[in-house]
Amino acid sequence: MQQEKQIILIITVLFTTVFISSLCLLIGGTQAAILGGLLVPCAVLSYLFPRWGLLAFLIYLPLGGTITYAVAGVFQAFGRGVRYTGSYSLFHLAKDAFYLPALLGIFISYKVWQKKTLKFKPLLIFIAFFVFACLLTFFLVNLPQDVTNTKDKVALMGLVGLKVWLGYIPLVFCAYYCFNNQNKLLLFNRVLLVLILVACILCLIQYLFLVNGICPGSNELPAPSDTSASLRAQCFVGGSLLYNPGKNLIRLPGTFVAPWQWAWFLIASSFISYGVSLSDPSRLWKWVSFAAIIAVLVATLISGQRTALLLVPIIYLILFFLTEKKNKILFIKLVILFILTVIITTQIGLVDQRIANLIQRWQYAPPQEFITQQIQWLIDNRITLLGNGLGKTASAARRLGSIRLVETFPVQIIYEIGILGYLGFLSVVTTLTILTFKAYCSLKTPGLRGLGLCLWVFILLISYNPYYYPLAVDPVAVYYWFVAGMLLKLPVLEQEMISIRPEKS
């Protein structure tokens, strides 16, 4: 009977693969057909083995931009811009072929609601309120606009907005499910470390290709592509790139679609790499985590990302002071850090250029003034209870109609889903911040406590970030919810470790 079920499953997957592949061939061409043929079995395996599906999703996340633009090449230069191929949308949705089936498999097979309802009850209540607010905006704002607006596909924009704001919240429960023992925690952390190292090394190669002229960069591109990130300057990995040494302009995308995604990947990686360096029991993997920290710092330095250049060193210093308890060791490490800083800043002119560029940009457009301007713009455009419509500021919806570029996070969410939606969102992240803080405080094991502190500071930073919109785009939109679930599970793993120790002795 079991063999018959397996045979039926295999035949069904084969027929579905052929059908989807043929459909993709007609719509998007050969590349789309190949991708469709690969994604169907991946989706089935993700559903059958949710932990591995979620791990595959995390692995694909930092490499998706490279697969889309560098490997598949889903764009062509056209005049002063670019033209996308028919497989463009499918490649951007490819990561969901791992995530959504794994999510479905977890929620069908895992009885999270029976045993953990009391722990998650406050969070579930506020998530339900936030979902309700988003649905109100969709039905009462997006759909009426879709009827009256014949130019924009406002209903589809609303669906994109729902995915942006709600799509990755279930990762809290997925992560809680995945870490059923300490070995799973080590596996996921080590995979994340390797991904950080690989992505940073690929970014370094990208930089060397540009410096040595193997990639032309933005010098020969017509304006405005020579002063802003463009796919026409794409080099080796990732997507849109800016490299114009004549004008002292550089914005590398690393392995991601755009430079700003790469900047926030580096910021998130600083928390993960430092946290793993404190918690992994293996000496080898501690050295790997130290290598990842160095790689993140080097990538931050060469990428030209001002936000990362400002935040990453500060983050490492804050985590260093918060987790270092031994005064003698702290003093020695501070002396070494100071000497290294003096050597780097005096011997490498690149550091001076990046810092000078950061100061110049700060003086030209101070972030606090920019935030104030965006808030004033929102007030002038009338703050409403339900907002102006889901997806109206999402870059993923730009092909469905006209969108507004709103670059400060609170303003973006209030503009889209109004005061009610913002209150719902603020309730969710505040509850999550409190629950994760309680989880961190309950930890007693030094390694897990250090990891918990690093993860909680990350959650705190992203939850109340006043500038830019990391929670609305990859990769932070994924890492934030996943890390929260990981942190909530750490006390359970610690109790299991304590209960096992006496048996071994």
Residue 505 covered by a domain: no
Which helix (H) or strand (E) segment holds residue 249: the answer is strand 249-251
> What is the residue-wise DSSP string for 197-214?
HHHHHHHHHHHHHHHTTS
Residues 105 and 187 in one domain: no
Per-residue model confidence as pLDDT tens digits over 254-273: 999 989 999 999 999 999 99
Last residue of a domain, one of 109, 128, 161: 109
Q: Are both 114 and 260 inside the same structural domain? A: yes
Give the residue with greater pLDDT, 204 vs 221: 204
Q: Per residue in 393-406, pLDDT tens? A: 887 777 777 888 88
Instruction: Look at residue 504 in the predicted model and tell me its pLDDT.
Output: 42
Confidence bin at 505 (pLDDT 50/70/90): very low
Q: Let me know whether 297 and 376 are in one domain.
A: yes
* 477-493 per-position pLDDT tens digit: 999 999 999 999 999 89
This prediction's pTM: 0.91
Q: Of 75, 90, 109, which residue is a domain's last?
A: 109
Q: Does residue 474 sit in the same domain as residue 375? A: yes
Res 421 pLDDT > 90:
yes
Please give the structure tokens belonging to residue 70.
Answer: 């560098």
Task: Tell me how far CA of residue 65 lies from CA of 24, 60, 94, 135, 172, in angstroms.
Answer: 20, 9, 11, 30, 24
Specify the number of domains making up the chain: 2
Residue scoring higher pLDDT (169 or 375): 169
- Give, as one character, the DSSP assignment of residue 139: I
Residue 410, pLDDT > 50, answer yes
Residues 182 and 93 in one domain: no
- pLDDT tier, 73 (very low <50, low <70, confident <90, very high otherwise): confident
Give the rounded percent of residues in the chain with a pLDDT score beyond 70. Answer: 82
Model pLDDT, residue 32: 72
In a domain, 255, yes or no: yes
Residues 197 and 277 in one domain: yes
Specify whether 104 is located in the same domain as 248: no
The alpha carbons of the chain give a radius of gyration, in whole angstroms, of: 24
Mean pLDDT of 122-136: 94
Same domain for 158 and 25: no
For residues 259 and 241, the answer to whether their CB atoms sit within 8 Å is yes
241 has a pLDDT exceeding 80: yes
The mean pLDDT value of the chain amounts to 83
Phi-psi region of 18 (alpha: psi -120 to 50; beta: other; left: phi over 0): alpha
What lies within 8 Å, CB to CB, of 196 at 6+ separation is 269, 272, 273, 292, 295, 296
Residue 467 has pLDDT above 70, yes or no: yes
SS3 474: coil
Q: Comparing 505 with 143, which gets the higher pLDDT?
A: 143
Same domain for 133 and 64 = no
Question: What digits encode the pLDDT tens for the residues 42-56?
Answer: 888 888 889 999 999
Highest mean pLDDT among 76-85, 126-135, 149-158, 238-247: 126-135
Q: Is the pLDDT of residue 430 over 60?
A: yes
Which residues span the domain enclosing 346? 110-500
The predicted-structure confidence for 329-378, as pLDDT tens digits, reads as follows 655 665 665 565 555 555 455 666 666 666 666 666 677 777 888 888 88
Distance in angstroms (rounded) separating the CA atoms of residues 424 and 139: 17
Rounded CA separation 11/413 (Å): 46
Of 34-48, 67-81, 301-315, least confident by mean pLDDT is: 67-81
User: Among residues 75, 109, 143, which one ends one of the domains?
Assistant: 109
Q: Are residues 133 and 272 in the same domain?
A: yes
User: Which H or E element spans position 83?
Assistant: strand 81-84
Give the pLDDT confidence score for residue 480 in this predicted structure.
Answer: 96
Give yes or no for a cis peptide into 470 (omega within 30° of 0).
no
Based on the fold, state whether residues 160 and 246 are members of the same structural domain: yes
Answer yes or no: do 67 and 167 share one domain: no
Q: Is the peptide bond before 224 cis (omega within 30 degrees of 0)?
A: yes
